[in-house]
Structure 1
Amino acid sequence: MNRRRFLVALGVTSALGGCLEGDSPIAGDDGPDATGTTTADATTATDTATTTTATRVGSFDLPIPKDELRRGAPKDAIPALTSPVFADEWARFDEVDVALDDSFEVVGVELDGIARAYPLAILNWHEIVNDSFGDRPVVVTYCPLCGSAVVADRLVAGEPTYFGVSGYLWMSDLVMYDDRTESLWSQVLATAIRGDRTGDTLSLLPSTISTWGEWKASHPETEVLVPPPVSGTIRGRQTRNYGVNPYRDYQQSSTIGIGFNDEVDDRLHPKTSVLGIAAGGVARAYPLDTVNEAGVVNDTVGGLPVVVTASSDGTLVAYVRRIHGTAVAFERDGNALLAAGSRWDLLTGRALDGPHDGTTLTRANDRSPMFWFAWADFNPGTEIYGR
């Protein structure tokens, strides 16, 4: 594995070089936070918590030492959503002065017959949405520094909980806390890394990062998250400039995190969008450009037969290419896939016609596509498709 140093940002200000007129996810939070704690001494209850038994998750020994955590902002300075409101559009709300454009990227979730879209225009500023699909508590998370979306059941020790933004980063990734135990959780790992629940892992749910236009075309009955102040946050009524992407320059640069990644795997540009699949002890990354060039990729990862493809808008998806237990090869037909006599919707994996009409393929990836550096950091030794 080749690893070398990339340019790293010197702090929050330079990492958020795309912010306009002082806007940032923590704008206005340089002083005391909601509890009267200053940036310098803001902590969570788990800053000093320890566990007596070490746990290993993937390549990592838990609990994570405290000195591996980096304070990026005060606790709750990036206010998680706790009372989300959904509608079919934004235009009906006088409090929202931004138009929801078809090109906006969204995290799409379909669960229990309900389809919802969570625009990155909101998640860039709030990072966590505590939601419920019927009686099922769900948390939708997004880390702008890693470009990673993770969706999971919102349960700790079997009980519903709310998650908030701790203000810490680990490996440049969002560190969440749960309000039931104040344990700290890695967003990408979906695992508690410090505190009473260390080693507990959230049950992951399938999600897609696509454009709003693509998502609503495949899910015509979808709802979309409405920005605060219509939706409520953990800090009450809050609002941000949702027409501004505070990470625009960061996403286009070689900058890693906010200054805490000294080395990265340099086989790809750190901000390359990759879809990662891990199975049977093998991790493999599929870069967007490589998948686009191939059109459709039929592959096997650790014994798991998979198909990987991307839409015309750059939405990367991967499915287990088994139909009723038999591995098949897929072909591409415009924005659909072809296999076993049926056409399959690229975005949902659902058969549109033929002998398998209505059948839905199983997702092969349990986390969204993310930046290459993040996938490589959390999956050391990963392979790259096509290399």
Structure 2
Amino acid sequence: MKTLLLVLGFFTLIVAEILKVYLIMPFPGSQQMNSIDFAYFMFFNIGYFRLAGLLMIAYPAWHFLKTGKKRVKLLIGTFIVLYLGVFYAVNFRMLADKIFYQPNTVSFVPASQTGYEMTDLVLGVEINGESKAYPIENIGYHHQVRDTVGGTPVIVTYCTVCRTGRIFSPEVNGTPETFRLVGMDHFNAMFEDSRTRSWWRQVNGEAVAGPLTGTTLPELPSEQMALGAWLNKYPESLVLQPDTAFLEKYENLKNYDEGTSESKLTGRDTASWADKSWVIGVTLDEKAKAYDWNELIKTRLINDTISSTSLLIALEPDSLSFHAWERDTLVFSLSDTTNFIVDKNTGSEWNWKGECVRGMLSGAQLKWVLAYQEFWHSWKTFHHRTRTYRYRKPGQAHLKQIR
């Protein structure tokens, strides 16, 4: 009986510690399970499992250490060291906020003073006349950056494993909140608020575990594009500077923009509709649709419709910066002679800000639509009934619904 209690006690201690981190970090198999509720339970009840395990081993361990043979004592000592090693690794090395840290300083400079290349990808936001750009290879390491834009508090988030950039208001039910990176669910970063300790998904700002389950953070409109394209739209924009304390960490994301990262979690599948291939995702009238990045590279423009909204998806000549606009009854094509897009209806020319600059519709402005670039596995996971745009030939497109 003493031996059984000893074995069960060590098993409880070690397995409980492992489950605490296994379920919310990208270990083999962990992110394919719908285990968020169990993960939340284990995370916040780990103390009870520790107590139960210690109570089970206390008397048997004391007994065997006092009366057992040297081999038995050595075995018990080995298990104690093993548990302490697991405890240290789980709680001080493997948790998300022990791997990824928030910046010590958040500083900005005008575009003329930044050291970033014009082809570097940024997540940009404009609020109340103030615009700021957050380089992805910077915020991708931190996962979140707290800031204020146009007098409005924001939390700028990025998950490199899903290739999802989102900006939210960090207010929960009207109260300012702070968040820490706690792990991931279905490969998407999760944050924990400081007051209720609920867990929030980065991809949509929804609380998926804890007292505030079902609550969502207000999302603020943002755009991902090359820094040069962003500055073309907002010349006075400020640019986030790297925190010098994390230069080595940023270096690990050096090739992330291009999708050539060596990591299996963050590298790109070049084939279309593979898990790690890139798509442009749009949601209108609660209906989601995905557009293959490879197809967009070839065609540059996609005239499509979601629900009852006519949509234009456009890729700038830099092959990095994309846009989505409502096009009403207009049908667009690329100009053969200029760096403009042209509507076939009137022959008017439009720039990459969605402004008509020449022709019958001069002065008109296309209505901007929120769109995201992300990995296909992420978009289809968090948009269960998404449709996909499949180009066949002019005038035809094949739609497939993902259930």
Pick which of 113-122 and 308-317 moved more. Answer: 308-317
Shift of 1:174: 0.7
Q: Given the two structures, how large is their TM-score scaled by the length of structure 1?
A: 0.68
Question: Residue 89 of structure 1 contacts residue 224 of structure 1 at CA under 8 Å; is this kept in 2?
Answer: yes
**What is the SS of the residue equivalent to 2:251?**
coil
For the pair 1:273 / 2:295, whether they are aligned, the reply is no
- The equivalent residue for 2:157 is 141
For the pair 1:375 / 2:397, whether they are aligned, the reply is no
Question: Residue 42 of structure 1 contacts residue 75 of structure 1 at CA under 8 Å; is this kept in 2?
Answer: no
For each residue in 1:162-209, what CA deviation from the matched residue of structure 2 results, as whole angstroms up to 9, or x when unmatched? 33312x110101111223432211011211111222111122222222
Alignment equivalent of 1:67, drawn from 14, 20, 39: 39
Whole-Å Cα distance in 2 between the matches of residues 301 and 85 of structure 1?
Answer: 40
Please show how residues 235-250 of structure 1 align to structure 2 within 5 Å.
Answer: 238-241=245-248, 244-246=251-253, 248=255
- The equivalent residue for 1:109 is 125
- The equivalent residue for 2:332 is 330
Question: Residue 308 of structure 1 contacts residue 319 of structure 1 at CA under 8 Å; is this kept in 2?
Answer: yes
In structure 2, relative to structure 1, the CA distance for the partners of 1:328 and 1:345 (3 Å cut) is: same
Please show how residues 85-164 of structure 1 align to structure 2 within 5 Å.
Answer: 85-89=107-111, 99-164=115-180
For each residue in 1:206-252, what CA deviation from the matched residue of structure 2 results, as whole angstroms up to 9, or x when unmatched? 222222222223321111001114xxxxxxxx423266134848944
In structure 2, relative to structure 1, the CA distance for the partners of 1:335 and 1:192 (3 Å cut) is: farther
Shift of 1:43: 7.7
**What is the SS of the residue equivalent to 2:116?**
coil
- Letter of the aligned partner of 1:227 in structure 2? P
For the pair 1:80 / 2:102, whether they are aligned, the reply is yes
In structure 2, relative to structure 1, the CA distance for the partners of 1:151 and 1:356 (3 Å cut) is: farther
- Letter of the aligned partner of 1:164 in structure 2? R
In structure 2, relative to structure 1, the CA distance for the partners of 1:364 and 1:223 (3 Å cut) is: closer
Alignment equivalent of 2:198, drawn from 177, 183, 201: 183
In structure 2, relative to structure 1, the CA distance for the partners of 1:109 and 1:301 (3 Å cut) is: same
For the pair 1:194 / 2:194, whether they are aligned, the reply is no
- The equivalent residue for 1:52 is none
Whole-Å Cα distance in 2 between the matches of residues 341 and 158 of structure 1?
Answer: 48
Alignment equivalent of 1:223, drawn from 225, 229, 238: 238
Which 5+ residue runs of structure 2 have no aligned equivalent? 1-16, 25-33, 44-89, 391-397, 399-403
Pick which of 333-342 and 311-320 moved more. Answer: 333-342
- The equivalent residue for 1:299 is 304
Question: Residue 107 of structure 1 contacts residue 207 of structure 1 at CA under 8 Å; is this kept in 2?
Answer: yes
In structure 2, relative to structure 1, the CA distance for the partners of 1:364 and 1:300 (3 Å cut) is: farther
Shift of 1:143: 0.4
Whole-Å Cα distance in 1 between the matches of residues 20 and 364 of structure 2?
Answer: 50
Which has the higher Rg, Structure 1 or Structure 2?
2
In structure 2, relative to structure 1, the CA distance for the partners of 1:337 and 1:155 (3 Å cut) is: farther
**What is the SS of the residue equivalent to 1:276?**
strand
For each residue in 1:14-70, what CA deviation from the matched residue of structure 2 results, as whole angstroms up to 9, or x when unmatched? xxxxxxxxxxxxxxxxxxxxxxxxxx68989xx9xxxxxxxxxxxxxx994133899
Whole-Å Cα distance in 2 between the matches of residues 162 and 116 of structure 1?
Answer: 21
Identity %: 25
Alignment equivalent of 1:319, drawn from 325, 344, 351: 325
Whole-Å Cα distance in 2 between the matches of residues 154 and 89 of structure 1?
Answer: 27
In structure 2, relative to structure 1, the CA distance for the partners of 1:219 and 1:91 (3 Å cut) is: closer
Whole-Å Cα distance in 1 between the matches of residues 179 and 340 of structure 2?
Answer: 37
Shift of 1:138: 1.3
Shift of 1:362: 2.6
Whole-Å Cα distance in 1 between the matches of residues 200 and 327 of structure 2?
Answer: 32
Q: Given the two structures, how large is their TM-score scaled by the length of structure 2?
A: 0.65
For each residue in 1:323-377, what CA deviation from the matched residue of structure 2 results, as whole angstroms up to 9, or x when unmatched? xxxx43233335533346754432x434446656274523143xx2101111111
- The equivalent residue for 1:233 is none
For each residue in 1:80-134, what CA deviation from the matched residue of structure 2 results, as whole angstroms up to 9, or x when unmatched? 3485221115967xxxxxx422222111222221221101121121111111113
In structure 2, relative to structure 1, the CA distance for the partners of 1:198 and 1:309 (3 Å cut) is: same
Whole-Å Cα distance in 1 between the matches of residues 187 and 306 of structure 2?
Answer: 27
Whole-Å Cα distance in 2 between the matches of residues 82 and 337 of structure 1?
Answer: 43
Shift of 1:311: 1.4
Greater helix content: 2
Question: Residue 343 of structure 1 contacts residue 351 of structure 1 at CA under 8 Å; is this kept in 2?
Answer: yes
Question: Residue 141 of structure 1 contacts residue 151 of structure 1 at CA under 8 Å; is this kept in 2?
Answer: yes
Whole-Å Cα distance in 1 between the matches of residues 105 and 296 of structure 2?
Answer: 38
Shift of 1:270: 1.9
In structure 2, relative to structure 1, the CA distance for the partners of 1:345 and 1:157 (3 Å cut) is: farther
In structure 2, relative to structure 1, the CA distance for the partners of 1:75 and 1:162 (3 Å cut) is: same
- The equivalent residue for 1:283 is 288
In structure 2, relative to structure 1, the CA distance for the partners of 1:222 and 1:335 (3 Å cut) is: farther
Whole-Å Cα distance in 1 between the matches of residues 340 and 219 of structure 2?
Answer: 26
Shift of 1:384: 1.8
Whole-Å Cα distance in 2 between the matches of residues 116 and 306 of structure 1?
Answer: 27
Shift of 1:277: 1.6
- Letter of the aligned partner of 1:332 in structure 2? L
**What is the SS of the residue equivalent to 1:214?**
helix
Shift of 1:316: 2.4
- The equivalent residue for 1:36 is none
Question: Residue 306 of structure 1 contacts residue 364 of structure 1 at CA under 8 Å; is this kept in 2?
Answer: no
Which 5+ residue runs of structure 1 have no aligned equivalent? 1-39, 48-61, 93-98, 230-237, 259-263
